[in-house]
A and B are shown apart, each in its own frame.
Chain A
Amino acid sequence: GQQVMQIPQYQHVQEGEDFTTYCNSSTTLSNIQWYKQRPGGHPVFLIQLVKSGEVKKQKRLTFQFGEAKKNSSLHITATQTTDVGTYFCAAPLNAGGTSYGKLTFGQGTILTVHP
């Protein structure tokens, strides 16, 4: 079935280094969302991108949506230990018809930050 591919699966960085995770789809996406899950926690919504080429920033986090609306990235500048967790992209993938909010999640990138 349709999937959202996310890489890398794991990323270990030293505190202060940058971090980037990427998502790719074979089909054009109506929108893409990003979630963060802290260890032992549940996914929490970060942001949604809708427009082609859209770039949004949240403090040290920068989110981009590709021009073709088939890929997206999340970049964290100068990571901190509070950034530790798993970052997921998610998108509505429906072969026609209404998705009713159904989201397909990427595999997630587990970020470890060493102090």
Chain B
Amino acid sequence: DQQVKQNSPSLSVQEGRISILNCDYTNSMFDYFLWYKKYPAEGPTFLISISSIKDKNEDGRFTVFLNKSAKHLSLHIVPSQPGDSAVYFCAASVGNTPLVFGKGTRLSVIA
């Protein structure tokens, strides 16, 4: 029973265009969401987060949108750069419980 789903295993985008990575969740109690980025041979690194009291959080080229009614969040990267090529994990949590991760989406930004 997967509580956090990233239904697209991979995504290819041209350099300069927008990358949109999607994440769906089933537990309506989740109140905190995070995105992590992972390069090969490295550990995941935190990218951006959003609390359930917000519907948008922006940090430079990265914006996360949260649609609570649809139980959906998305990460927008604008403009996409070749260095953004990585695996992106969505994670969610509620209260004092551990993060639940999705399976990841591999983003390839083509020059």
**Are A and B part of the same complex?**
no
